[in-house]
Amino acid sequence: MALVQNNNVYFDGLVISEIGPRVEKVLRTRQELEQYVTCLEDGSYCATYHNLLLKSAFQPIVTPSGELYAYEALMRMYTEDGELVNTGDMIRMYQNIEAHLINIDRLARVIHLRNFAEFFSDSKLFINMTPVAIIDSLRPAFKQSLLIPRILELGLSPDHIFIEILEHYCDDDINLVNAIRAMHQDGLQIAIDDYGSQGSSEIRTRAVMPGLIKIDQSLLQQYLDGQLTPMLDAIQVAREINAKVLIEGVENKRAFQTAIALGADLLQGYYTGHPKIVGQSDMPNIPSMSPEKLLLTES
């Protein structure tokens, strides 16, 4: 796997891709975005950002009986040479550059929605959003979100779409909560992602009042190691606000049986299903992009 450091992508100690010039502007129109979304021969969609290729992977979410409930859309990033990039490293590098986080968030959301509509539209979709992108949707210059119209145009139902609030820290929880409430009023389902890690705190969760809490895999591992309290406390919070419980990190039979014994409503992990990238076509060439070409928009 390629690693990200100091604005470069490294593989085996060599720089294999330079991340393009920093674009501080958040671009929002659909017309700007369409230039950077590609439909491959197999019907799947991908996108480019800087010198990287973004693709969609989907992981099953199941009920305790093993029935498919939904898919979570996951972003996969590749260099020009086809090397997989550590997405977590990339996001951390952009942590203090809001424009990048918002642009990546929106571009990923566009291809995820299109790929889901193309391949899995008869199910439900969990899709991630960063707090900064959610708050940005409330800005006066961006009063009319394109998210709901895009969902409807694709033949999807808003109440089948779960917006996962990522665990990133946020210094403006008031506007975050207001933006989330607005999305819920539009008919979208709300989920807190990775509860128990980083920014996914009890305070934020009680303020947001999500319909579902995804409990971080670290709490399951702690429980399996004999540290029971964090997991039990998380489940108690969910029950108190009438939220469903999804336990992440179900990687083996023991974890599966433990999650069911804990009363999980939904399960996710390698034991119940690996993420799979949509489509089988070869990845297209990634165009060399100048600063003025790095134009992204809201989904």
* pTM (two decimals): 0.84
DSSP type of residue 175 = H
Residue with tokens 């947001």: 208
pLDDT one-digit tens code per residue, 128-160: 998 888 888 766 544 456 788 889 999 999 999
Q: What is the pLDDT of residue 27?
A: 60
Distance CA 192, CA 234 (A): 12
Alpha helices in the chain (DSSP H): 30-34, 87-93, 98-119, 131-136, 147-153, 173-185, 202-208, 217-224, 229-240, 253-261
Are the C-beta atoms of residues 212 and 195 closer than 8 Å to each other? Answer: no
The pair of three-digit structure tokens given for residue 188, joined into one six-digit string: 């979208």
Q: What is the pLDDT of residue 147?
A: 86
H helices, E strands: number in the chain: 10, 15
Distances 176 to 92, 108, 152, 182, 194 between C-alpha atoms, Å: 20, 20, 24, 10, 17
- pLDDT mean across residues, the chain: 83
Which CATH topology does 56-76+95-277 take?
Answer: TIM Barrel (3.20.20)
Q: What is the mean pLDDT of residues 110-122?
A: 95
Domain boundaries, the chain: 56-76+95-277
Which of 26, 296, 31 is closest to 141 using CA atoms?
26
pLDDT one-digit tens code per residue, 220-256: 999 999 999 999 999 999 999 999 999 999 999 999 9
pLDDT one-digit tens code per residue, 37-76: 999 989 999 999 878 899 999 999 999 999 999 999 999 9
